Amino acid sequence: ENLEPAREVIVRYNNVKKAFGINIVLNDLNLDVYKGEKVALIGPSGSGKTTIIRMLMTLEQPSSGTIEIDGEHLWHKEVNGQLKDADEKHLRKVRGKIGMVFQQYNLFPHMSIMRNCTEAPIHVLGLSKDEAKERALQMLQKVGLSDKVDMYPSQLSGGQQQRVAIARSLVMQPKVMLFDEVTAALDPELVGEVLEVIKDIASEGETTMMLITHEMDFARDVADRVLFLDNGLIAEHGTPYDVIENP
């Protein structure tokens, strides 16, 4: 008798294919990401990493197959047990379960750091201003920037702005956080502070994360599981030890 609690699947790709015209970019992707798990996606440029997470961000539709988040279909809607194409309203709802941090931090330049972090919780989640501010402050503390709440993005370094972008995303308490090459646009001396912040958040354990990175040391430190993508296929997957140290 197996008494281990079943691990909860947060993200599931089921026979997902993606083609752009005749270019097959992903070939039958099957992947489960579990609650609290950190999955690093590595592999050469053009291997399909970004496409995997863009489909989860609802920015790119799979050519076939299904994607589920937190037990709910992303690109489909269940109507009387049948899968229909999702409408914009459904996509907007499931998008709320996903936090994303990109290369470009995309902060609102005319808003204070605090306000950057409270806009969405107030207007999307319907929190009161005080609740939103409290939650934002907590997250800004996590990324080490609680002393910058009244400053504006242009007054911060790129590394600090990226840390704000991470806090802003966490404030929404997403089911999964997606990080797409978040240090690629930073000056080399600013990369470390951003990776450290992500490692800190990862080490707390609760947040499910999928991370695309070229930083192998970082992938090894942060990930429970590493997927090596090659030409649209998961060529290798396993612990960082299996994939990075002993490929």
List residues near ligand ADP by CB under 6 A.
20, 23, 25, 43, 45-51, 114-115, 118-119, 122, 129, 133
Q: CB of residue 175 vs ligand ADP: minimum separation in angstroms?
A: 22
Measured from the CB atom, the residue of 43 and 62 that comes closer to ligand ADP is: 43
C-alpha–C-alpha distance, residues 49 and 40, integer Å: 10
> Which tokens in the block code for residue 32?
């489960």
In this complex, which beta carbon is closest to ligand ADP, that of residue 77 or of residue 133?
133
Q: In the complex with ligand ADP, which residue's Cβ is closer, 45 or 82? A: 45
Closest C-alpha among 26, 89, 33 to residue 63? 26
Choice between 50 and 161, CB closer to ligand ADP: 50
Q: What is the DSSP string of 117-165?
A: HHHHHHHTS---HHHHHHHHHHHHHHTT-GGGTTS-GGGS-HHHHHHHH
Closest distance of CB 7 from ligand ADP, Å: 27
**Rounded to the nearest whole angstrom, what is the least distance from the CB of residue 118 to ligand ADP in the complex?**
3
Distance CA 116, CA 96 (A): 17
Least spacing, CB of residue 173 vs ligand ADP, in Å: 17
In the complex, minimum distance from the CB of residue 180 to ligand ADP, in angstroms, rounded to a whole number: 8
**Closest distance between ligand ADP and the C-beta of residue 82, in Å?**
29
Shorter beta-carbon distance to ligand ADP: residue 35 or 225 = 225
3-state secondary structure of 93: helix
Tell me the H-state helices in the chain.
49-56, 88-95, 113-123, 129-142, 158-170, 188-204, 216-222, 240
What single-letter amino acid sits at 91? L
**Residue closer to ligand ADP (CB basis): 32 or 119:** 119
Residue type, 122: I
CA 70, CA 21: separation in Å to the nearest integer? 31
